[in-house]
Structure 1
Amino acid sequence: MRARFTTLSKVALLSELLNQRVLIMKFNAIVRTDLGKGASRRLRLTDHFPAIVYGGEAAPVAITLKHSDIINQMDKPEFYEGFVLVIDGQEVKVKPQDIQRHVYKPKVEHMDFKRI
């Protein structure tokens, strides 16, 4: 015998599943003081990459992120919906706006984040 779900029960089931467990990704970021092409290249040699956070009423902030932390989470759809960056102890909710990748290596060159 096949179970039949009404539209109302499907919606109720879906909302219950969504409310059960919501994971928010959180990454640590460091404010960059050295800016420019040379400084960015040196960062990339140490498994980090440059990024910028902008939007909202606060000023744009240049940051550094650890490459291995980010690249492992980029396969998940939740990554593109938004997450939290911890910048000098302050939590900022952001969404990836632009991602620049290496031409043939599986590496991120630079990311832009928009505050939400």
Structure 2
Amino acid sequence: MTVVRGLVGVFNGDGGVRGELAYALGKLRGTAECALCDITHRGIRTNAEWKDVVCELAVPFDLVHRNERSAEVARLTGDETPAVVAATDEGYRLVMGPADFAGVDGAAVEFVRVLRERVAKGGLRWA
């Protein structure tokens, strides 16, 4: 069974001043959304619940914007973000796409439950 050594969460938005501003304006207008952002942040601050539950995973969990992805993560996620990719002994594997965030509604605990379920369904195991 393939072992998860780390995770990469990809936000549905670009980083940098321009990307962050575009996302904030889109959020206000109702034209931009990112379920992963809703889980990891409360406004401009990191969600305290996120900080607590991400530690329970016992593997590194990196968060990146679309324009900050590695080439391999970008190949796996394409235009389908937010997403979560597992770094394994055998390379990267997509474990969550946008549809997998349905019903999580910004709750970090529920996100981790779904993540664990998707990891298991993908034939992966935790380090």
Hey, which of these two has a bigger chunk of strand by percent? 1
TM-score, structure 2 length as denominator?
A: 0.27
TM-score, structure 1 length as denominator?
A: 0.28
Greater relative contact order structure (CA < 8 Å, 6+ sep): 2
Hey, which of these two has a bigger chunk of helix by percent? 2
